Amino acid sequence: MARTAPALKTNWDVIVIGSGAGGLLAALRAAANGLSTIVFEKTGYYGGTTATSGGAIWVPCHGLDGHEDSREQALAYLQHVTAGEAHADRIAAYLDRAPAMIAFLQQCGIACDMLAGYPDYYTEAPGALVGRALVPREIDGMDLGEDFADLRPPFGAFMLLDRYSLDLEQAFALSARLPGWRRVAAAMMLRYWLDLPWRLKSRRDRRATMGNALIGAMRRELKRLGVPVVLNSALGRILREDGRVTGVELSGSGAQGRFEARKGVILAAGGFEQSQTLRDENLPVATDHHWSLTPPGANTGDALIAASAIGAAREFMDYCWWAPSTQLPSADNPQVLVTHQMFFDHRHPHSLVVNGLGERFVNESCSYDDFGKAMIADHVKSGANLPCWMIFDATYRERYGCGGILPGSVMPDSRVPQSWWNGFFYKAATLDELASRISIPAGTLASSVADINRFAGAGRDTDFARGESAYDRFFGDQSVQPNPSLGPVDQPPYYAIRIQLGDLGTKGGIKVDANAQVIDTAGRPVGGLYAVGNCAASPFANCYPGSGGTIGPAMAFGMIAADHVAQQTSGTD
C-alpha cells in the first residue's frame, strides 16, 4: 500500500520528477552533494521501467573485474553505430562521466558486476567489445522494510511462476534450458519455501534481482540519507519566474499543490509511449500503446508536455527503444490481455519469423531494437507487417519458452489455457494447415521454411546472415550445430505466435545539452530545468549500442544534472 509522506514541506533545493534509475541516481547524487532533495513519482510504485527490466547498465571504461577498454575505442564504436546523428558533446560527456557514476554507486554500497561474455549489440563495428554491460548485485528485500511492498514488480519473464525472482544468469538458464536448469529452478523454489518468516509475510520471493536490485539498492540509500520518495504525485505544470524554473505543480493523493525548487528541477519521468495520442502524432507507423512493455499508464509524456508548455525544444520524436512483444489473455481474467516481452524467443534455433505474406524479412537473432526497426522497414515496404509471425516446430516447443508460454517440458500443450488457442497461440499438424489458421499464403510459408531448413543444414543463412555475428551466437544454442542460431523447422506439430511492434520506451523527447539542461526552441538553456532518461532525447539518437543502453545514460546524465545543479547559486544560471 502506498504511503503519503508525513508533514511534507514545500521548499527544497532539488525536486526530482520520476523514480526510475535516472531519477533515483540524480536524487542520490544531489543529496550526496548536500542539497535537500525530494522525489515525486506519478504511480503507486517506485522504480519506473527500470524496476521491470533486466537492470543492465551499459558503461564503457568501467574498469570493473579487470576489464580493459579505452575512451578512444568506445568513441570509435559510438561514432560508427550512431552514424553521425548523435550530438558529439553529449557522447563525450557520457564517456567522461559514466565511469565516475559507477564509482559513485560503489561508494554508496551499490555493487555491480560485469555481465561475463555479453557483447555489444554491433559486434562487427569498429571499437565493439565484450563486457561493457554491467548488472547490479542481488539485494535482500528485507533491507527495504515496508518500502519493499511499493517496489514495482519485474517483468513476468524475470520471475518464475510469478513468485521467484530470477537473476540474468538464471533467466538465461531457464529460457534456453541450459544444462542444470532444473536444479536452478528447484533451488530457487526450495530457498523460498524454507524461508518461513518471509513466506508468511509475502507471496513474493524476498530476493530483489536485476532492475529490482538496482532500484531497491538506491531506494535503500535514499532512505538512509533521508530523501523522501512520494508516490501518487503527478506532474501538472513547471513553474517559471523571470526565465528560470522555480518549482512544480503536482496533483494526486501523495502530494498536490505547488512545490518550490531553489536550485533545480530534474525531470526523469519516462517517455510518452503510453500515450496513444503522442504515439499517433510522432511514431513512423501506426502502433498501439498496449504493445509497449513499459508500465501501463505510467509514461504518458507528462514531463514532455509540461516542458513544452514553457518553451522546451523536442528532438528525435519518431524513435523508440524497440522490442518485440506479444499479447496473451490473463490467466486470472481471459477478458484482459497481458503484454509479454519477446526479447530472446525469436533468437532460438528451430524457428523463423515471417511477415503477413509468409516471407522472412530479418535476421531473427539480431538485437530486439534492430528487430523492431526491421518490422517498420518491412511494413513500409510490404504493408504486411505489424504483426509478424514467429513459426516454430515441436523441437522448439519442447526446449524453449515463447512469450508467456513456458517450454513444453514444463508447460505441455495440455496445460496451455483454452482461451489462448487459435486466437493468440496456434498449432497445426502441417505447415499448410498452420498457414490457413493465421491467414498467410501456404506456398510462401513453405518456401520460407524450406530455406531455413537448407540454411540450418549448411550452417549458413545466405539471405540474412543469421548466426554469423558474435552477438547472434551468444544467444544461440551451442548444442545445435553447425550454426547455434539455426535449427531445422521440420518436426510436427507446428506452432505460430503473433509478434507486435513493442518497445521499452520512446527515445525522443525534451532536447538537452551536455549538462542535461533543457534547451528551449531558441537554442538556449532553461535555467533550473534538467531532463534525463527517456523523457529527454536519447544521447545515442536512433541507436541501441548495447545491453543497458537505456539505463546507463539515464544514470550518467542523472549524476551530471545533479552535479551541475550543485555548482549553481540560487537565482543564477
Q: Residue 569: its pLDDT value, please?
A: 60
Q: Which CATH number goes with the domain that contains 428?
A: 3.90.700.10
Residue 348 DSSP one-character state: S
Q: Which long-range contacts (CB under 8 A, 24 or more apart) does 407-415 make?
A: 407/177, 409/177
Q: Do 467 and 398 share a structural domain? A: yes
Please answer whether residues 356 and 385 qualify as being in contact, where contact means their C-beta atoms are separated by less than 8 angstroms. yes
Q: CB 103: neighbour CB atoms within 10 A?
A: 13
Peptide bond into 482 cis (omega under 30): yes
DSSP state of 508: -
What is the domain count for the chain? Answer: 3
Does 361 share its domain with 485?
A: yes
Q: Are residues 407 and 462 in the same domain?
A: yes
Taking the CB of residue 252, how many other CB atoms lie within 10 A of it?
A: 20
Answer whether residue 162 is part of any domain.
yes
Distance CA 301, CA 235 (A): 10
Where is the domain boundary, 144, 177, 208? Answer: 208
Pairing relationship of beta strands 525-531 and 257-267 according to DSSP bridges: parallel
Considering the domain architecture, whether residues 114 and 230 belong to the same structural domain is answered as: yes
Low-confidence ranges of the chain (pLDDT < 50): 1-5, 570-573
Nearest C-alpha neighbor of 141 from the set 208, 234, 87: 208
- Give domain status of residue 273, yes or no: yes
This prediction has a pTM of 0.93
Q: Is residue 4 part of a domain?
A: no
- 464 shares a domain with 410: yes
Q: For residues 382 and 431, is the Cβ–Cβ distance under 8 A?
A: no
The confidence score (pLDDT) of residue 160 equals 66
Residue 25 lies in a domain: yes
| Pair (197, 216) in one structural domain | no
Q: Are residues 252 and 278 in the same domain?
A: yes
430's CB contacts (< 8 A; 6+ apart) are 492, 494
- Asked if residue 167 is part of any domain, the answer here is yes
170 and 70 co-located in one domain? no
Q: Are residues 222 and 89 in the same domain?
A: yes
Q: Considering the domain boundaries, does residue 526 fall inside one?
A: yes
The answer to whether the beta carbons of residues 551 and 57 sit under 8 Å apart is yes
* Contact (Cβ atoms closer than 8 angstroms) between residue 523 and residue 508: no
Domain interval for residue 173: 157-208
pLDDT in tens, 88-112: 999 999 999 999 999 999 999 999 9
**Distance from CA of residue 218 to its chain's centroid?**
18
Summarised one tens digit per residue, pLDDT across range 164-185 is 677 767 676 666 666 776 776 7
Q: Are residues 73 and 180 in the same domain?
A: no
Residue 98: per-residue pLDDT: 98
Domain final residue pick, 486, 501, 516 = 501
Is the domain of 424 the same as that of 530? Answer: no
Among the three residues 501, 521, 554, which one is the final residue of a domain in this structure?
501
Distance CA 474, CA 467 (A): 9
Look at residue 369 and tell me if it is in a domain. Answer: yes
The H-assigned helical ranges of 387-543 are 394-399, 431-437, 442-458, 470-474
Do residues 192 and 199 make contact, with C-beta atoms less than 8 angstroms apart?
yes
Residue 227 grid coordinates: 530523501
139, amino acid identity: I
Residues 449 and 303 in one domain: no
CA 345/CA 116 separation, integer angstroms: 21
Q: 467 lies in a domain?
A: yes
